[in-house]
A and B are shown apart, each in its own frame.
Chain A
Amino acid sequence: MGGWFSEASNWWFLLIAVFIAFSALRVVTATNVVHSALFLVGALAGTAGLFLLLGAQFVAWVLVLVYIGAVIVLFLFGIMITRAPTGPKVEVDNPRRGFAATAAILTFAVMVYSSVSAFGHMEVTTVGTGTATDLIGSQLMGRFVLPFEAVSFVLLAALVGGVTLARKDTARDETDEGGTA
């Protein structure tokens, strides 16, 4: 590990990694749902930074656009609509923290052990060796055209399903007038 700090990109990695780790920790420990969602923005932005460091510029900006731009806004809408309790006294966690922490630590231990023992010798190539976006485009329309179409179908199905689930069922509401719902 002696030469680890002599590489400039490792300093960038360390900076972003600490930021991601802190944000991710706050996502699952914050007591306010809105804070939790905003810390997720931090974790995602840090990940996009690492993608840039790894030469995946296109995916980094897709992450920023789709996740930070759209998914987080969707989450904030969900939080507002469900009127999630945000007061300081609200218990947002269930009482089985010890069990959950044990499961998480064991998952972490297994994953670190297996990745260190299997991939400990591998190196990544960084900035300056980025993938050209035209390669991604031509591969999406060439070798990966079938999964690409499948994913587009999944998106369409999710869109229709989301609209169907979330729209008000007017026929049923009229018959249930004054019910317990």
Chain B
Amino acid sequence: MSLVQFLVLGAFMFSLGVYGLLVRRNAVMVLLAIELMLNAVNLNLIAFEAALRTTFAGGQIFAIFAITVAAAEVGIGLAIVLLIFRNRRSVNVDELDVMRW
């Protein structure tokens, strides 16, 4: 199998994540789009590992690190979203303009 087909699929998933990140109003949906982007990165890491087959399985270990960091990120992110909701009764990112100007 060619490596490029995995890279193109990863690029497609990443671009959809970029689209969702820019277009969504709900902060939880923005976080979902970020998960999509992180997942595309993991796919790239595993695909490169399958192509290079390093003796120390570097791609797979870094994919595990990325999964761990993503879990931490989503925990903190949802805690912040929860706090914003508690203070402002809304999680729409285009209504959060307290720090503007």
Contacts and interface: CB of A to CB of B under 8 A. Distances in A.
Contact of A119 (B4, B23, B39, B78): B4
> Do most interface residues of chain A lie in helix, strand or loop, or is the interface mixed?
helix
Contacts of A50: 6, 9, 43, 46
Contacts, number: 250
A122 B2 contact: yes
Contact of A112 (B11, B69, B86): B11
Contact of B16 (A25, A67, A91, A165): A25
B61 A139 contact: yes
B3 A122 contact: yes
Contacts of A161: 76, 79
Contacts of B28: 33, 75, 78-79, 82, 84
Nearest to B15: A108
A123 interface: yes
Q: Which of B8, B60, B72 has the most CB of A within 10 A?
A: B60
Interface string A67-96: 100110011011101111100000111101
Contacts of B36: 24, 27-28, 40, 43
5 contacts: A27-B36, A97-B23, A129-B53, A158-B75, A162-B76
Interface of A: 4, 7, 9-10, 13, 17, 20-21, 24-25, 27-28, 33, 36-37, 40, 43-44, 47, 50-51, 54-56, 58-59, 62-63, 66-67, 70-71, 74-75, 77-79, 81-85, 91-94, 96-97, 99-101, 103-105, 107-108, 111-112, 115-116, 119-120, 122-126, 129, 131, 135-136, 139-140, 143-144, 147-148, 151, 154-155, 157-159, 161-163, 165-166, 181
